[in-house]
Amino acid sequence: MKAGMTGNKALWLIVIISALIRSILAGTTELGNDEAYYWVYALFPDWSHFDHPPMVGWIIQFFTLDMLVDNEFFIRLGAVALGSCNTLIIFRIGMCLGNRRTGLIAAILYNSSIYCFIIAGTFILPDTPLVFFWLLSLMLLCTAVPVGHIEKKHQIKMLLAGFSMGLAFLSKYSSVYLWAGLLAYIIFHRRIWLKNRSLYLAILITLLTATPVILWNIRNDFISISFHSNRVGLLGAGLRPDYLLMEITGEILYHNPVNLFLIISAIIFLARGGWRSSPPAISLLLWTGLPMIVTFILFSFFRRTLPHWSGPGYLGLILIAAWYLSEKEPTASWGRRLLNRLRVSAGVLLLVIILGYFQVHFGIIPFDKPGKVPDERLGKRDISLDLYGWEQIGAGFRSIVARDVGTGRMEPPPVVIHFRWFPAANLEYYACRGTDIRMLTVGQLETEHKYAWITAQRNGFRPGMDVYYITTSRDYLPPEKPYGSYFREFEPADTIRVVRAGRHVMNAFVYRLRDMKVLPVPTLYEYGLKGL
C-alpha cells in the first residue's frame, strides 16, 4: 500500500507540474500560424475543412465556451487538459504492460517528449485530440486484443476502441494507421478475432463516427483527400536526401534524443530475442507505431515532410521503452542508471522549454540587426517570431485604420486581403477580431485553404472597392505581384515596427489597394465546390 501511494503521488506530481508549466506557456505566448488558423475552424465550424477534420475546432469551441472566453489560454486549454489526461492514460497502459513502475516511466518519457509536451500538449493543433484518442484506443486495444480467449468484456472494449478510432479520424486522417496496425496484428498474431463479429462491428462504428468527414468530402469532390495525397505523392518526385535529413533530424529533436536512444535500445533488445519474454501487447504497439514512422521516412526521400506527422507512431514506442527500462533495470530503489536516464530525458525537455521561451519573448539569439539587412527581410531567419509580434501588428494596424477612416482615406467597413491562409489567420485574430474589419483572400485553393469558403460566406468582393494588404518582413511580397491585375493603384499606408526586449526585430508593411477593376472568380466556383 505504501509503495502504491508513493506511485500515485509521483504520478499526480508529474500531472500537476506538467499542467502548470504548459498552462504558463499557453497563457503567455501568442498563437502560432497554425493555431490561429485552427481558431478559424471554431469561428466558422463545419463538418470538416479543406485540410483537416473538424475535431480541433470543436475542442476550441468547447473550451472557449463557444468563443465566449476568447484568448490564447482558453484557446489552448483543450491541449493542456487533454495532455494531462494523456499522462494518466499512458500510465495505465504502462501498468498493463508491466507494473506501476512501468507506468510511471512511461508517464515521465511521455512528458519528456517535445512532441507530446509542447506540440500536442500545449499548442492547439489537430495532433492534440489525435494523441488523446490514439492513446485511448491503445489502452482499450492492449487490454482486449492480445487475449487468447475472447470474452464479452473484450468484445465491449473492441467496440469502444472502434468509436475511439472514429473520433481519432475526426481529428486527423493519419489515424488510419491505428486500424492498419490493428488489422496487421490480428492477421499475424490473433486470427481468432477474424471470426468474432465485434471486430466488424467496430469497423462499422468507426465508419459511422467518421460520417461527417466522409460526407463533407463527398460534397466537396474529395478535395481534402486529394490535397493530402498530393502532399505525399511520389509520382514524378526526385530523390531528395536533404528532405530525408530534415525529417530524421526533426524526429530526433521532437521526440527527445534521450527518449529516442531508449526506444532504439528497446527495439534492439526485442530483435535479439527479448520479444519471447515480452507481453503480447508489445507486438500490437509495434504494429500501430513503426509502419507510420517508416512510411513518412520513406516519403521524405522524395517529398518534404514535417516531423510531427509521424508523432503518434512514437506513443507505442515510448511504452515499449518504458517496459524495457522497467524490466532491465534493478528494482531496488529504482536503480541509479534508470533514474539518471529519466533525469537526463526530463532535463533535455526543460532546457528546450527554457531556451525556446526566452528566445520567443526576449530574442536571446539576435538573428538580424536593423541596418544590416534590408527592412523587407528583417527577422526572416528567426522562426521564433512566428509566436511573437502579432499583437503589436494588430494594434498598429487598427490605429492606421482608425486614422484612415477618420480622415476619409478609406471607407468603412475596412477590408484586409491576403493570398494565403497564413498570415491571414494571424491577422484575423490579432487585427480583425472584435472589430468590423473583414479578412478576405484572393489566390489558389492550395494557398487559401479554408479561407476560400470564408471569403465566399463573407460575400467576397465588389467593383471599385479599396482594401488593405499587410505583408511582414519575414515573408515580404509587394502587393503588385499577387494583385497587379485586380487593382488600379497601390500605395504604402504605413510601416509597423515590431519591438522585442527593446530591439527592432520585424516590420509589417501596410498598403492601400485602390479601385478593384477586375473581380476575382471565387475559388470555390473554380473547383466546383460547395460553400459553408
Bridge partners, residue 490, by sequence:
513
Q: Is the same domain home to 383 and 334?
A: no
Instruction: State the DSSP code for 238.
Output: P
Residue 55 pLDDT exceeds 70: yes
Q: Is the same domain home to 393 and 279?
A: no
Q: What is the CA radius of gyration of the chain?
A: 25
Which tens digit of pLDDT belongs to each residue from 391-421? 999 999 999 999 999 999 999 999 999 999 9
Per the model's pLDDT, the better-predicted residue between 339 and 483 turns out to be: 483
Residue 276's domain comprises 2-218+239-358
* Set of cell numbers at residue 459: 460575400
- 366 belongs to a structural domain: no
pLDDT at 232: 67
Q: Residue 31's pLDDT band (boundaries 50, 70, 90)?
A: very high
- 532 belongs to a structural domain: no
**Which runs of consecutive H residues, i.e. helices, occur in 449-488?**
451-457, 480-483
pLDDT at 530: 64
Nearest alpha-carbon partner for 512 in 470, 467, 475:
467
- 244 belongs to a structural domain: yes
Of 358, 392, 418, the one marking the end of a domain is 358
Instruction: State the DSSP code for 517.
Output: -
How much of the chain exceeds pLDDT 90, in percent? 83
- 164 belongs to a structural domain: yes
Q: H/E element holding 491? A: strand 487-500
- 492 belongs to a structural domain: yes
| Residue with grid cell 536503480, as numbered in its chain | 335
**Which runs of consecutive H residues, i.e. helices, occur in 143-271?**
152-169, 176-189, 197-209, 211-219, 223-232, 241-254, 257-271
Nearest alpha-carbon partner for 256 in 207, 301, 311, 181:
311
Q: What is the pTM of this model?
A: 0.94
Q: Is the same domain home to 347 and 382?
A: no
Q: What is the amino acid identity at position 100?
A: R
Q: What is the amino acid identity at position 177?
A: Y
Strand-strand pairing, 438-441 and 487-500: unpaired
Please give the average per-residue pLDDT across 59-81, as a whole number: 97
Q: Is the same domain home to 179 and 68?
A: yes
Residue 1 pLDDT exceeds 90: no
pLDDT at 2: 43
Of 358, 387, 414, the one marking the end of a domain is 358
Q: Is the same domain home to 112 and 192?
A: yes
Strand-strand pairing, 503-516 and 438-441: unpaired
pLDDT at 240: 87
Residue 532 pLDDT exceeds 70: no
Which tens digit of pLDDT belongs to each residue from 472-525? 999 999 999 999 999 999 999 999 999 999 999 999 999 999 999 999 877 776
Q: Is the same domain home to 334 and 480?
A: no
Q: Is the same domain home to 446 and 346?
A: no
Q: Is the same domain home to 289 and 314?
A: yes
- 364 belongs to a structural domain: no
Cα(445)–Cα(452) distance, integer angstroms: 7
Residue 310 pLDDT exceeds 50: yes
Domain count, the chain: 2
Q: Is the same domain home to 354 and 427?
A: no
**Which runs of consecutive H residues, i.e. helices, occur in 32-151?**
33-43, 55-63, 72-97, 100-111, 114, 127-142
How much of the chain exceeds pLDDT 70, in percent? 95
Q: Is the same domain home to 384 and 287?
A: no
- Mean pLDDT, all residues of the chain: 93
Residue 299 pLDDT exceeds 60: yes
Of 332, 358, 384, the one marking the end of a domain is 358
- 223 belongs to a structural domain: no
CA 514 centroid distance within chain: 38
Please give the average per-residue pLDDT across 311-334, as a whole number: 84
* Set of cell numbers at residue 263: 526506444
Sign of the torsion angle spanned by Cα atoms 243, 419, 68, 51: negative
DSSP annotation string for 390-447: HHHHHHHHHHHHHHHHHHTSSPSSPEEEESSHHHHHHHIIIIITTSS-EEEE-S-HHH
**Nearest 10 degrees: Cα torsion 388, 394, 399, 400:** 100
Residues 6+ apart with CB under 8 A from 27: 71, 72, 73, 76
Cα(349)–Cα(281) distance, integer angstroms: 28
Phi, psi of 512 (to 5 degrees): -105, 125
Q: Is the same domain home to 330 and 390?
A: no
Q: Residue 327's pLDDT band (boundaries 50, 70, 90)?
A: confident
Burial of 524 (0-12, 13-18, 19+ CB in 10 A): buried
- 89 belongs to a structural domain: yes
Strand-strand pairing, 487-500 and 415-418: unpaired
Q: Is the same domain home to 516 and 381?
A: yes
Residues 6+ apart with CB under 8 A from 503: 363, 366
Question: How many C-beta atoms lie closer than 10 Å to residue 517's C-beta?
Answer: 12
